C-alpha cells in the first residue's frame, strides 16, 4: 500500500462527501486525513489515503462521484499526515526565532516544491498561474510559492497570509487613507469597540463604530431615510425597518460584526456594513446598506474593503455577498474585489470574494526588518 493525496471539488449538497468516502472504501483505500478547502469552484476536499492498488483507478472512481471538476492525485509521505493546526503553530514558533526563513516555512506549510523572496511589483515566472502563489510580506517584499500542477486554493492562500501576519508586529491605530488599516475591528468585542476613520475615494471622512444595543433607534431612522428600492436591494425583500430580532442579530458578536458609518461631527449613521459568520468553514457573509443621498460617493466600496480586511484578520478564506441581479453598484464593487459571481437565480446573484493577501502589511518592525533586510534569503 502507498500514501496518496487526493484533491477533488465537491458539490455543496448533502450526501456528496459520503459518496466520495464510499467510492474510496470500495477501492480498499484507508482514509487517514481529510481537509476541507474553499476555492472559486466551491468546496474542495483533500484526502490522504493509504491506497492498496492502482491510484489512477481510485482517482477515476472519485471523479465519477465528485459531480464534475478535476481530481488530482499525487504521492504523499508519512510525515505529511498529522494535525494541520499543530503544524501551523509549530511553523509560527520556528519563524519567531528565524523570520528570514519564511520562504522555507511557507513551502512546508503548503507542501510546495519551491518558495523564494521576490519583488511584488515585478511579475515573475508563473505570475497569474493557479499553481503559483504570491504571498505579500510588506510593501517591498513578497514570497513566490510554486507547486507545479497543483493549484492553490483560497483556503491555502489565507493560511499563507495568516502565517506571515502571525510573525509581523501589531499594526498601529486604525486610521485609513483610501484603505482601512488591518485591524479596525475584531470578532467578539466585549468592551467598547475600537473606532476608526475611513476616507472614501471621493474624500468623505466617515467615523466607524461597532453597532450596539444603544444604536437601535439610529439604525431604524437610517432605514426610514432609505428608499424602498434601496432596502429591497439590501434584504431582497420589502423590509420597512429592522424588527427587534434583526437588531439583536446586528448587535450579537457571536453572530458577527455590524459597523455604522457616520460623517465626522455628526451623530446619524449614513451606512451600515455587516460581516456575519456562516456554517461553512472559513466563509463569512457581508452586506451593506447605504443611505440614498450617500450612494455613488464610494461609501460602499470603502466599507467593502474594511469588511474584507477584517474578515482576513479573522482567518476567513472568503466572504460571500448575495445581491439583486440588477444591483449594478454592488456588482461593480465585488467585481473590483476579484469575486467569482454566480448566475442569477430568482432575481439574485451570489458573489464569492477571496481574502488572502488583502490585509495591508504591518508597519516596519524588528521582524519585518529581518525578513526584508539585505542579505536575507533571496536578497
Answer yes or no: do 349 and 204 share one domain.
Answer: yes
Q: What confidence score (pLDDT) does residue 195 get?
A: 58
* Residue 178 included in any domain: no
Residue 223 belongs to some domain of the structure: yes
Q: Determine the straight-line distance between the first and last CA of the chain, rounded to whole angstroms.
A: 43
Q: What is the CATH number of the domain that holds 35?
A: 3.30.70.260
Query: 253 with 291, same domain?
Result: yes
Is 190 a domain residue? no
* Shared-domain flag, residues 326 and 206: yes
217 plus 323 within the same structural domain? yes
| Whole-angstrom distance, CA of residue 106 vs CA of residue 143 | 8
Residue that finishes a domain, picked among 80, 96, 112? 80
Asked if residue 326 and residue 256 are part of one domain, the reply reads yes
Condensed to tens digits (0 to 9), the pLDDT of residues 82-132 reads 778 888 888 998 888 888 889 999 999 999 999 999 887 777 787 778 899
CB 73 within 8 A of CB 6: yes
pLDDT on residue 246: 87
151 and 205 share a domain? no
pLDDT at 77 over 60: yes
Domain shared by 73 and 158, yes or no: no
Q: Residue 223 is part of which domain span?
A: 196-354
Residue 88 shares a structural domain with residue 61:
no
Work out the average pLDDT over 37-43. Answer: 84
pLDDT of residue 125: 80
Residue 378 included in any domain? no
**For the residues 35-53, what does the mean pLDDT come to?**
87
pLDDT for res 179:
32
List beta partners, residue 143: 117, 135
Q: Is there a single domain that holds both residue 74 and residue 91? A: no
| Mean pLDDT on 220-244 | 89
In a domain, 333, yes or no: yes
pLDDT digits (tens, 9 = 90+) for 119-165: 877 777 877 788 999 998 877 788 999 999 889 998 999 899 889 88
**What's the pLDDT tens digit per position in 296-323?**
999 999 999 999 988 887 878 899 999 9
Q: Is residue 145 domain-shared with residue 222, that is, in the same domain?
A: no
Number of domains the chain contains: 3
Q: Which three cell numbers stand for residue 161?
A: 497570509
Same domain, 71 and 101: no
Provide the pLDDT for residue 194: 37
- Give yes or no: residues 122 and 156 share one domain: yes
- Do 219 and 266 meet the contact criterion of CB atoms below 8 Å apart? no
The CATH code of the domain that includes 319 is: 3.40.630.30
In the numeric block, the cell 433607534 is attached to 217
User: Is pLDDT at 174 greater than 60 in this prediction?
Assistant: no
Task: Dig out the grid coordinates for 207 from the structure.
Answer: 467615523
Amino acid at each position: 500500500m502507498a500514501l496518496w493525496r487526493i484533491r477533488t471539488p465537491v458539490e455543496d449538497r448533502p450526501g456528496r462527501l459520503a459518496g466520495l468516502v464510499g467510492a474510496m472504501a470500495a477501492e480498499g483505500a484507508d482514509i487517514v486525513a481529510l481537509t476541507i478547502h474553499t476555492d472559486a469552484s466551491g468546496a474542495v476536499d483533500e484526502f490522504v489515503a493509504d491506497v492498496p492498488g492502482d491510484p489512477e483507478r481510485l482517482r477515476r472512481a472519485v471523479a465519477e462521484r465528485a459531480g464534475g471538476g478535476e481530481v488530482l492525485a499525487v504521492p504523499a509521505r508519512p510525515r505529511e499526515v498529522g494535525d494541520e493546526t499543530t503544524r501551523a503553530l509549530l511553523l509560527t514558533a520556528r519563524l519567531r526565532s528565524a523570520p528570514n526563513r519564511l520562504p522555507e516555512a511557507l513551502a512546508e506549510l503548503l507542501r510546495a516544491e519551491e518558495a523564494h523572496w521576490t519583488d511584488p511589483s515585478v511579475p515573475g515566472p508563473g505570475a497569474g498561474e493557479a499553481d503559483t502563489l504570491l504571498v505579500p510580506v510588506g510593501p517591498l517584499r513578497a514570497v513566490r510559492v510554486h507547486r507545479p500542477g497543483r493549484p492553490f486554493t483560497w483556503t491555502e492562500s489565507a493560511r499563507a497570509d495568516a502565517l506571515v501576519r502571525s510573525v509581523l508586529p501589531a499594526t498601529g491605530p486604525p486610521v485609513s487613507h483610501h484603505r482601512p488599516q488591518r485591524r479596525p475591528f475584531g470578532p467578539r468585542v466585549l468592551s467598547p469597540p475600537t473606532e476608526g476613520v475611513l476616507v472614501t475615494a471621493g474624500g468623505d471622512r466617515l467615523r466607524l463604530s461597532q453597532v450596539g444595543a444603544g444604536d437601535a433607534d439610529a439604525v431604524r431612522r437610517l432605514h426610514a431615510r432609505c428608499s424602498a428600492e434601496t432596502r429591497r436591494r439590501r434584504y431582497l425583500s420589502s423590509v420597512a425597518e429592522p424588527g427587534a430580532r434583526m437588531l439583536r442579530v446586528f448587535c450579537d458578536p457571536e453572530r458577527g460584526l455590524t459597523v455604522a458609518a457616520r460623517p465626522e461631527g455628526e451623530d446619524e449613521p449614513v451606512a451600515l456594513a455587516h460581516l456575519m459568520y456562516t456554517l461553512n468553514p472559513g466563509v463569512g457573509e457581508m452586506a451593506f446598506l447605504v443611505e440614498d443621498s450617500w450612494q455613488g460617493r464610494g461609501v460602499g466600496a470603502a466599507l467593502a474593503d474594511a469588511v474584507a480586511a477584517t474578515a482576513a484578520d479573522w482567518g476567513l478564506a472568503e466572504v460571500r455577498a448575495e445581491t439583486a441581479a440588477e444591483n449594478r453598484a454592488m456588482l461593480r464593487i465585488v467585481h473590483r474585489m476579484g469575486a467569482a459571481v454566480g448566475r442569477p437565480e430568482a432575481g439574485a446573484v451570489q458573489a464569492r470574494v477571496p481574502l488572502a493577501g488583502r490585509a495591508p502589511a504591518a508597519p516596519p518592525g524588528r521582524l519585518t526588518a529581518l525578513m526584508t533586510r539585505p542579505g536575507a534569503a533571496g536578497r
